[in-house]
């Protein structure tokens, strides 16, 4: 199965297209270095300024056999409208003039501070993509909650349990197919993708006591939402006990692949944290469905499972409760 990735827009692609100055490109590149999912996720502009609206197919006409002089009752497909919300993640960089100008390289000091903030925002957004809760009114719902029950919902078909531990030492592996009508992220209509940076320069900043001091200030803001338009293109292997890993994890991953509707209709990626990746590597020793293939001669080898790339994401927790 060939994986074609260059037709999918990520944050760096948007930055190259819409910011000739290079500033947003630099921010996007910092982001993609921190979390694989940030680089992978498909990004589109939403059709609303307060969220993203789409229709989900809830039923299709199955047709009917007929005989001569006997009609067929009318039938139609049924849909429901879903509106996904987005979150606004913000941060400020404030560097005292004394600190910034110490050593005579203001730009380098400010750049270092900004990189740290951007890295932290990237980690926060990655955690939200996986572990965002319905109760997070200022943000969006993540993958763990969308694929969060072994029974009782249609989506449960795409969730497999690896056994699990009642001690709360569990993790999950996800298989996501990114595409514009399946699973993707979005930014509000009329805005820009990725982190937006406002440089206020040297300003009078107010400390906790209400006193002013000169400081260099920047504001960073990132608007993002997650749309699972077709749940059949995502799947979760949950209840992986990190203290006593399941011996059949490779078999479970193979089974999970078969739950996904079609791996050829989009950009499929496996996501797991370092703990789960080590478990998979150990279990895959000597097996033929796990490979390390560099995309260039000098590139670091990339792990793949049944030709689908395996990407690391530390935002996936090792402390999950048992999914029931």
pLDDT, tens digit, 9 for 90 and up, residues 159-176 = 999 988 777 899 999 999
- 314 in Cβ contact with 273 (< 8 Å): yes
3-state secondary structure of 37: helix
Q: How far apart are CA 229 and CA 50, in angstroms?
A: 17
Long-range contacts, 99-104 (Cβ 8 Å, 24+):
100/215, 100/216
Residue 16 has pLDDT above 70, yes or no: no
Strands 195-206 and 170-178: unpaired
3-state secondary structure of 199: strand
Residue with tokens 């009917």: 64
Residue 321 has pLDDT above 50, yes or no: yes
Q: How far apart are CA 32 and CA 19, in angstroms?
A: 17
Q: How far apart are CA 197 and CA 25, in angstroms?
A: 11
pLDDT at 69: 76
Q: How far apart are CA 17 and CA 22, in angstroms?
A: 10
Q: How far apart are CA 128 and CA 89, in angstroms?
A: 10
pLDDT at 19: 55
Enter the tokens of residue 109.
């000091």
Residue with tokens 């719902």: 141
**Domain range annotation of the chain:** 11-58+75-312
* Alpha carbon distances (Å) from 269 to 34, 141, 249: 17, 20, 17
Ranking 168-172, 190-194, 219-223, 278-282 by mean pLDDT, the lowest is 190-194
pLDDT band at 252 (very low <50, low <70, confident <90, very high): very high
pLDDT band at 294 (very low <50, low <70, confident <90, very high): low
Out of 61-65, 80-84, 263-267, 295-299, give the one with best mean pLDDT.
263-267
Q: How far apart are CA 144 and CA 147, in angstroms?
A: 5
3-state secondary structure of 113: helix
Predicted TM-score of the model (pTM): 0.83
pLDDT at 4: 37
pLDDT band at 2 (very low <50, low <70, confident <90, very high): very low
3-state secondary structure of 206: strand
Enter the tokens of residue 143.
């993958």
Average pLDDT of span 286-291: 69
pLDDT band at 242 (very low <50, low <70, confident <90, very high): very high
Ranking 46-60, 198-212, 235-249 by mean pLDDT, the lowest is 46-60
Q: Which CATH class is domain 11-58+75-312?
A: alpha beta
pLDDT at 81: 86
- 77 in Cβ contact with 113 (< 8 Å): no
Q: How far apart are CA 270 and CA 152, in angstroms?
A: 25
Q: What percent of the chain has pLDDT over 90?
A: 55
Q: How far apart are CA 39 and CA 126, in angstroms?
A: 11
Residue 260 has pLDDT above 60, yes or no: yes
Average pLDDT of span 4-8: 45
Average pLDDT of span 138-144: 96
């Amino acid at each position: 199965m060939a994986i074609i990735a260059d037709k999918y827009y990520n944050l760096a692609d948007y930055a190259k297209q819409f910011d000739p100055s290079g500033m947003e490109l630099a921010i996007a590149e910092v982001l993609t270095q921190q979390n694989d999912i940030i680089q992978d996720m498909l990004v589109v502009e939403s059709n609303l300024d307060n969220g993203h609206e789409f229709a989900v197919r809830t039923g299709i006409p199955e047709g009917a056999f007929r005989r001569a002089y006997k009609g067929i009752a009318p039938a139609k497909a049924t849909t429901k409208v879903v509106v996904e919300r987005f979150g606004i993640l913000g941060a400020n960089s404030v560097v005292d003039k004394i600190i910034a100008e110490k050593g005579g390289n203001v730009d380098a000091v400010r750049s270092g501070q900004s990189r740290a903030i951007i890295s932290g925002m990237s980690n926060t957004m990655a955690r939200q993509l996986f572990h965002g809760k319905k109760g997070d009114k200022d943000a969006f719902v993540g993958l763990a909650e969308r694929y969060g029950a072994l029974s009782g919902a249609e989506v449960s078909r795409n969730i497999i349990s690896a056994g699990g531990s009642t001690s709360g030492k569990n993790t999950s592996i996800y298989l996501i197919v990114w595409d514009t009508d399946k699973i993707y992220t979005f930014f509000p209509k009329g805005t820009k993708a990725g982190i937006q940076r406002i440089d206020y320069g040297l300003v009078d900043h107010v400390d906790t006591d209400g006193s002013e001091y000169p400081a260099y200030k920047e504001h960073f803001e990132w608007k993002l939402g997650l749309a699972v338009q077709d749940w059949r293109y995502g799947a979760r292997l949950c209840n992986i006990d990190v203290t006593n890993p399941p011996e059949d994890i490779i078999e479970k991953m193979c089974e999970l692949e078969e739950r996904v509707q079609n791996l050829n209709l989009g950009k499929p990626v496996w996501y797991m944290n370092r703990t789960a990746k080590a478990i998979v590597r150990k279990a895959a020793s000597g097996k033929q469905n796990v490979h390390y293939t560099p995309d260039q001669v000098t590139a670091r080898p990339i792990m793949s499972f049944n030709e689908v790339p395996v990407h690391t994401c530390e935002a996936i927790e090792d402390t999950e409760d048992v999914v029931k």
